[in-house]
Amino acid sequence: MRLTLTEFAVLVACVPMILIIVATIISRTSRVRAETRAVARRVICRLCLHAFETTHSGVVECPRCGAANERK
């Protein structure tokens, strides 16, 4: 298959743009998923309003005041 100069120039211009678009979509998708996981692990203490993250489910203790808090 032989390419003309015009076809080659279009190919050289379009392929990197397509790769950039795909990389941007992957990056934004992974950022949204990471933010969603972080929000799911976040707990706000009902007494001192200290926000912290935990991987435990159920009742967790606030690292600042020691109050028991339920994860929702």
Taking only the tens place, the pLDDT of each residue in 38-61 is 998 999 999 999 999 998 888 999
pTM: 0.65
Region 18-34: mean pLDDT is 98
**Residue 1: band (very low, low, confident or very high) from pLDDT cuts 50, 70, 90:** confident
What whole-number percentage of the chain has pLDDT above 70? 99
Residue 29 confidence (pLDDT) above 90: yes
Tokens read off for 4: 């003309």
Spatial separation of the C-alpha atoms in residues 37 and 61, rounded to whole Å: 20
Looking only at the bridges linking them, the beta strands covering 42-44 and 59-61 are: unpaired
